[in-house]
Amino acid sequence: MTQSELAPLAQGAPDASGSAPPPKKTSLKTTHRKASGVKAPWWFALPALVVFTLIVVIPSLRGSFYAFTDWDGLSPNFEFIGFGNFSRVFQDSAAGESIANTAMYAIGITVVQNFVGLLLALGVNSAIRSRNWLRVLFFAPAIVTPLIVANLWQYILAPQGALNTALRAVRLDFLAQDWLGNANLALPAIISVVVWQFAGYSMVIFLAGLQSIPEEIYEAASLDGAGSYKTFINITRPLLAPAMTINLMLSLIGGLKLFDQVLIMTQGGPGSASESLSTIAYKDAFQFQLFGYSTALTLVLTIFVAVASITQFVLLRRGENK
Amino acid sequence: MKRYTLKTGILEVVMVLVALLFAAPIYVLINTALKSGGVTTSLAPVTNPSLDNFVTAWINGGLGAALLNNVIITVISVVLIVVISASAAYPLTRITRRWSKLAFGFFMTGLLIPSLLALIPLYTTFRDLQLIGSVWGLILIYVGSQMPFSIFLYVQFLRTMPMDFEEAATIDGASPFRAFWQVVFPLLRPITGTVVILNTITVWNDFFTPLLYLSGSGTNTIPIAIYSFTGQYVNQWGVIFAALIIGVIPLLIFYFLLQRSIIKGFAGGLKG
């Protein structure tokens, strides 16, 4: 449920090849020619097929089936209720609010995290002496357990927490408030925490994109008299497009699946002001025994994530053909 | 190389200020954990640092056992993930029949499915099989759910790798099993590094899976131990922060030892 879980999607870039040398036309040919003497036994794939089928495929199919029933998760009996759970998802005000919140999380995190990440990347891609230290520092929170980051910020944002103490110390008492207990502020506060943790992650991906732009292009642009703003818009921005696509999708999918931070910092509250699809699906299944309804919610989430991922593949393909 | 100009100097100052602001929560974390006694709201640097909170957290939080579980679960899961996904990627890339393409596509559907969809229904199966609370149950879940990502990474890498070495090995009479493990697998080292790093961090940090599959069993991982610990010590931030620091230290050691490879692994194949 963390963004790092999604990291390998980053490798779906058109020029992605792990740390391998860039794929050459000739090596493609090598792969497709008849292997002379090379035998890769098919049963090498068997353990992976078995464990993936048992742990992911069958449970997902079962979940999709329960979404059309009223099963409580315990009793041997349940009834098939068609689209009942789904119409309830769109009528239930808590579920409706969580869908709207999930969209807010995904969009808010995507926009702010990538904006901050891009600024950080431009900053540490310069000649400043502290650049290597800053890269290590800014990226560090991204590997830390999200639960630990959420606990730390829960204190910082508490009514008597560090943020309010700091605000009072600089005579900004009127700004001090219960950040996580305010229905209007809880969701933006959680977005800020996610951005604090993962902006360095976006930075690292942007940085890799920036470093792949040849220095000569910038020299040519400055010889032609282009200013730094013009250079950014006309050279950096288009050449950064693959990094941008990957970053947008990573943060979008991470935002759609947000769970740990919400459960720790607000439990979805106050009321259901910060509830996400993942947190209400979890509560419905394990606190309210609404197993069928819960799987219907996760199916809705799955559709959102699948649409986002497929959009990514399409955009990447299009980028490749340009 | 870019020159260091006045503009660079100004940028340097700005970036260092941003970094200090960015690091402020880390100061609060350490400063609060080192204070003993009740007063924790002050931001002033601690005058008489004490490790009392760390002792309380370590003893009452069961953090030692949880750390050990985290290490066991992470190491065994990652080793199994590497072995199983690398060997699956080999026929999926080298055999060019239709079924191998279908099988690859089958694995890739896993990239579209959020783990939640499988994890909630799987719970009832594990409950019936009495696998709740079992470290092995968790390992099985991680191996299954990390297959798509890991196979994807290996397949991408294998596609660009020439077959000359395997051919030579086969001509020399090596069995396919030996040709793979002794010739091909060592050549996969760079991508194996990425697979190990990404999976280690994902598995180590996971909260949702153990929240479901270990709850009430007495077996804990670090995120779960901290979760129940914060529930018991509500508002005793000094003790809670000591627990957070203990929980985060193994990861930070891992990060500072391998920061170059870790950052590279996360940046993915973008680097041209």
Ranges of each domain in chain A = 58-321
pLDDT at A25: 42
Selected residues 183-202 of chain B with any CB under 8 Å from a CB in chain A: 190-191, 193-194, 198, 201-202
Section B88-99 average pLDDT: 89
A98: which residues sit within 8 A by CB, 6+ positions away?
A: A268, A272, A275, A276, A277, A279, A280, A297
Q: How many Å apart are CA A232 and CA A238, to the nearest integer?
A: 9
| Amino acid (1-letter code) at residue A268 | G
Question: Which residues 6+ apart lie within 8 Å of B268 measured at CB?
Answer: A7, A8, A10, A11, A13, A16, A205, A208, A246, B194
Q: CA nearest B199: which of A4, A114, A182, A41?
A: A4
pLDDT tens digits, one per residue of A21-79: 444 444 444 444 455 567 788 899 999 999 999 999 999 999 888 888 888 877 778 88
For chain B, where do the domains classified as CATH 1.10.3720.10 start and end? 63-219
Please state the rounded mean pLDDT for residues B143-158.
93
B108 touches A309 (CB < 8 A): no
**CA distance linking residue A113 with residue A34, whole number of Å:** 47
Q: List CB contacts (< 8 A) between B234 and chain A.
A: none
**CA pair distance A83, A68, nearest whole angstrom:** 6
- For residue A83, what are its two tokens? 């689209």
Confidence of residue A150 (pLDDT cuts 50, 70, 90): very high
pLDDT of residue B269: 43
Task: Say if residue A4's pLDDT is above 70.
Answer: no
**pTM attached to this predicted model:** 0.86
At residue B103, the pLDDT reads 93
- Neighbour tally for A178: CB within 10 Å: 15
CATH architecture of the region A58-321: Orthogonal Bundle (1.10)
Nearest by CB to B116, from A44, A66, A301: name it: A301
Q: Which residues from chain B sit within 8 angstroms of residue A209, using beta carbons?
A: 270
pLDDT at B50: 82
Residues of B in contact with A18 (CB under 8 A): 153, 156-157, 190-191, 194, 269
pLDDT at A11 (0 to 100): 40
- The pLDDT, as a whole number, for residue B161 is 85
Binned at pLDDT 50, 70 and 90, residue B22 comes out as: very high
- Mean residue pLDDT across chain B: 87
What value of ipTM does the predicted structure carry?
0.89
Residue B95 CB-half CA count within 13 A: 21
Q: Rg of chain A over CA atoms, in angstroms?
A: 24
Q: Which of B78, B116, B160 to mutate to test the interface with A (most CBs of A within 10 A)?
A: B116
Q: Is the dihedral of CA A56, A61, A67, A73 positive or negative?
A: negative
Cβ-count burial of B267 within 10 angstroms (0-12 exposed, 13-18 middle, 19+ buried)?
A: buried
The verdict on B168 touching A (C-beta cutoff 8 Å) is no
Q: What is the pLDDT of residues B99-135, one digit of tens each?
A: 889 999 999 988 888 888 888 889 889 988 988 989 9
Instruction: Say which CATH class B63-219 falls into.
Output: mainly alpha
